Amino acid sequence: MTGQMGDSARRLVAAFCALVLVAAALPGTNWTAAPTDPDLATGDYAIVQVAHGTAGAVAAKATAAGATDVAALDSLDLVSARLSADSLRSLQSDSRVAYLAADAVVKASGGEDHYERGRAQPSPATQVIDANRAWSGATGRGVTVAL
């Protein structure tokens, strides 16, 4: 009789473990939510990294969920949008979304006065590769840039 009881207990534990694994894989659970930048808040602009070829569909989903100023950047596999609370939750639970990042201003951090510094810290690599010497001589004069 103990053998039958042990088999039943093992089966019950195995079934419970299988149920936990299935629940963890369901879309929209905390375990499957897309990683999100902690600085991203409702009402902010977001840069959303998506699976290849899905930018248009994810942009449509964001718009349907209340996002505004939505743009699908297909060639970069990105979507940019101003997110509402509903659209943020919707994108976090979308399996096509790889990452949600807050849009931010990026500043150059050179060692010379003519580079914007703000609160940015220059990388130690700038000294290793002697970048300050290159930056002091490179002005960009005579270079044509097409946008």
Together in a domain, 22 and 65: no
Residue 39 is assigned to a structural domain of this protein: no
Asked if residues 53 and 46 have their Cβ atoms less than 8 Å apart, the reply is: no
Instruction: Categorise residue 41: left if φ over 0, alpha if ψ from -120 to 50, beta otherwise.
Output: beta
> Could you report the average pLDDT of every consecutive run of 10 residues in the chain (147 residues)?
67 74 57 82 92 96 96 93 95 94 70 53 66 73 75
What's the pLDDT at 1? Answer: 47
Q: Per the structure, how many domains does the chain have?
A: 3
Residue 91 is assigned to a structural domain of this protein: yes
Together in a domain, 123 and 85: no
Together in a domain, 18 and 58: no
Q: Which domain holds residue 59?
A: 45-102
Residue carrying the six token digits 């290849």: 52
CA distances from 120 to 40, 111, 115, 126 (A): 20, 11, 11, 13
Residue 122 is assigned to a structural domain of this protein: yes
What's the pLDDT at 131? Answer: 73
Q: Is the pTM of this model over 0.95?
A: no
What's the pLDDT at 136? Answer: 72
Together in a domain, 72 and 95: yes
